[in-house]
């Protein structure tokens, strides 16, 4: 089969198996290319990213996954050299600026990881590919394989899928949470901390991410965020991705209910509060089922309970206090702190010019000792 024909088969649905390190905007169904995704890199650069599996064969039977062994559909496999050349050709033609490489697991995780590494080695060492590369780590691989992946990639990821061993047993009973999934992510952080980064591509170690399947195992938001907090603070992950469970036909979970999109949004908001706003898990509000309320964002929920701390004087508040104001994010806080050295904010329109929603922040702030008007139709 022609490489492009294979790519059609292997890139379809590949995001179900691949934790995306970039913010991926799914390719619209009628877009001409089905192989590429618009992505935003951590530095804000927008790129076209090729996302595909090296192989859609898998010997595992994860209950929610379209690639599970028991499912009947046409499967394909790239040879490492074939896939590396395809990526390089698309890169040189300007069709993509980066690639994400993942795979189903056929013939052991260690063997599949070797194939992924071989593809990356051909790209970097033989074809001198200098584009963005995100390499997937397979469950249960060896320390040396993690280290080699980190020498070659801009980002590595391993999907935890579930927040703890009990929930993983419901989704993917063949996998071990601690020894196969968490361990390689611990090694990533160990290598970043203790091994000289001179061995790495671009002389710096790659960032790392993971992905959870939200709602597939009946887990609560609290369980997901507890693990997320650990990953951010102890294992140095750049981002946890929350992918809503979707029932796939001909899987054991085909009759399970899909999960509302709002839940994913609330999980991202809460995880960013823990990563970028110095919120702890204990400060977030959960309902009696240990889930985030869907009708209010987590920061506003906190502000509502702590109304006594408001209003906050924008011209005097420290970084921590500014970060707690609903509607103000880390970038705006930096801009406010910088501007305040030579300027006093008196009018809420000035905050509007910084991209801050005046309507959102007005109830929580003072500007030069005065409460801004709540009727903000003019802004």
User: Nearest approach, Cβ of 67 to ligand SF4 (angstroms)?
Assistant: 4
Separation CA 243–CA 272 (nearest Å)? 16
Q: Which is nearer to ligand SF4, 152 or 213 (CB)?
A: 213
- The interface region with ligand SF4, picked from 43-51, 63-71, 301-309, 361-369 by CB under 6 A, is 63-71
Q: Which is nearer to ligand SF4, 149 or 292 (CB)?
A: 149
Q: Which of 11, 14, 17, 157 binds ligand SF4 (CB under 6 A)?
A: 17
Largest CA distance in the chain: 71
Q: Which is nearer to ligand SF4, 138 or 328 (CB)?
A: 138
User: Nearest approach, Cβ of 237 to ligand SF4 (angstroms)?
Assistant: 19
Q: Each residue of 58-84: b (16+ CB within 10 Å) or e?
A: bebebbbbbbbeeeeeebbbbbbeebb
Q: Is 210 helix (H, G, I), strand (E, B) or coil?
A: strand
Other residues' Cβ atoms within 10 Å of the Cβ of residue 249: 8
Q: Which is nearer to ligand SF4, 66 or 372 (CB)?
A: 66
Torsion of CA 14, 18, 21, 27, to 10 degrees: 20
User: Nearest approach, Cβ of 104 to ligand SF4 (angstroms)?
Assistant: 4
**Site residues for ligand SF4, window 123-182 (CB under 6 A)?**
172
Q: Which of 27, 54, 91, 104 binds ligand SF4 (CB under 6 A)?
A: 104
CB within 8 A of 290, min separation 6: which ones? 220, 221, 222, 223
Q: Going residue by residue from 262 to 301, which x/- string records binding to ligand SF4, judged by CB under 6 A?
A: ----------------------------------------
Find the angle CA(34)-CA(36)-CA(42) to the nearest 5 degrees: 150
Separation CA 173–CA 164 (nearest Å)? 12
Separation CA 234–CA 78 (nearest Å)? 36
Q: Which is nearer to ligand SF4, 259 or 312 (CB)?
A: 259
User: Nearest approach, Cβ of 107 to ligand SF4 (angstroms)?
Assistant: 12
Q: Which is nearer to ligand SF4, 62 or 333 (CB)?
A: 62
| 210 in contact with ligand SF4 (CB under 6 A) | no
Q: Which is nearer to ligand SF4, 173 or 260 (CB)?
A: 173
| 20 in contact with ligand SF4 (CB under 6 A) | no
Q: Is 147 helix (H, G, I), strand (E, B) or coil?
A: helix
Token representation of residue 280: 């702890």
| 58 in contact with ligand SF4 (CB under 6 A) | yes
Separation CA 173–CA 227 (nearest Å)? 19
Q: Which is nearer to ligand SF4, 214 or 333 (CB)?
A: 214
Q: Which segments within 137-226 are labelled E, that is strand?
A: 155-157, 207-214
CB within 8 A of 325, min separation 6: which ones? 303, 310, 312, 317, 361, 364, 365
Q: Which of 19, 41, 65, 152 binds ligand SF4 (CB under 6 A)?
A: 65
**Site residues for ligand SF4, window 66-85 (CB under 6 A)?**
67-68
User: Nearest approach, Cβ of 114 to ligand SF4 (angstroms)?
Assistant: 16
Query: Do residues 186 and 237 touch, judged by C-beta distance below 8 A?
Result: no
| 62 in contact with ligand SF4 (CB under 6 A) | yes
Q: Which is nearer to ligand SF4, 104 or 372 (CB)?
A: 104
> Which residues contact ligand SF4 by CB under 6 A?
17, 58, 60, 62, 65, 67-68, 104-105, 172
């Amino acid at each position: 089969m022609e490489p492009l024909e294979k790519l059609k088969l292997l890139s379809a649905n590949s995001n179900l198996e691949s934790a995306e390190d970039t913010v991926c905007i799914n390719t619209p169904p009628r877009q001409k290319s089905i192989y590429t995704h618009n992505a935003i890199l951590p530095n804000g650069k927008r790129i076209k990213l090729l996302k595909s599996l090296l192989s859609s064969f898998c010997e595992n039977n994860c209950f929610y996954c379209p690639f599970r062994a028991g499912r009947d559909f046409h499967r394909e496999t790239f040879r490492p050299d074939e896939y590396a050349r395809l990526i390089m050709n698309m890169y040189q033609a300007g069709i993509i600026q980066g690639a994400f490489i993942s795979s189903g697991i056929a013939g052991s995780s260690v063997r599949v990881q070797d194939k992924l590494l071989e593809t990356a080695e051909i790209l970097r060492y033989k074809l001198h590919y200098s584009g963005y590369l995100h390499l997937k780590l397979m469950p249960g691989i060896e320390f040396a394989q993690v280290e080699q992946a980190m020498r070659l990639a801009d980002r590595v990821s391993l999907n935890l899928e579930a927040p703890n061993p009990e929930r993983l047993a419901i989704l993917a009973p063949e996998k071990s949470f601690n020894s196969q999934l968490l361990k390689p992510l611990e090694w990533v952080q160990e290598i970043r901390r203790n091994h000289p980064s001179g061995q790495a591509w671009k002389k710096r170690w790659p960032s790392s991410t993971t992905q959870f399947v939200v709602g597939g195992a009946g887990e609560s938001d609290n369980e997901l965020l507890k693990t997320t907090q650990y990953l951010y603070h102890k294992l140095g992950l750049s981002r946890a991705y929350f992918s809503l469970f979707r029932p796939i036909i001909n899987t054991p979970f085909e009759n399970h209910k899909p999960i509302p999109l709002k839940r994913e949004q609330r999980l991202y908001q809460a995880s960013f509060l823990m990563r970028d706003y110095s919120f702890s898990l204990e400060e977030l509000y959960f309902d009696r089922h240990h889930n985030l309320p869907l009708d209010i964002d987590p920061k506003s929920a906190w502000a509502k309970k702590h109304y006594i701390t408001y209003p906050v004087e924008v011209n005097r508040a420290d970084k921590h206090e500014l970060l707690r104001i609903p509607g103000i994010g880390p970038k705006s806080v930096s801009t406010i702190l910088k501007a305040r050295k030579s300027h006093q904010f008196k009018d809420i329109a000035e905050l509007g010019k910084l991209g801050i929603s005046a309507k959102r922040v007005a109830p929580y702030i003072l500007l030069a000792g005065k409460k801004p008007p709540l009727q903000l139709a003019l802004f």
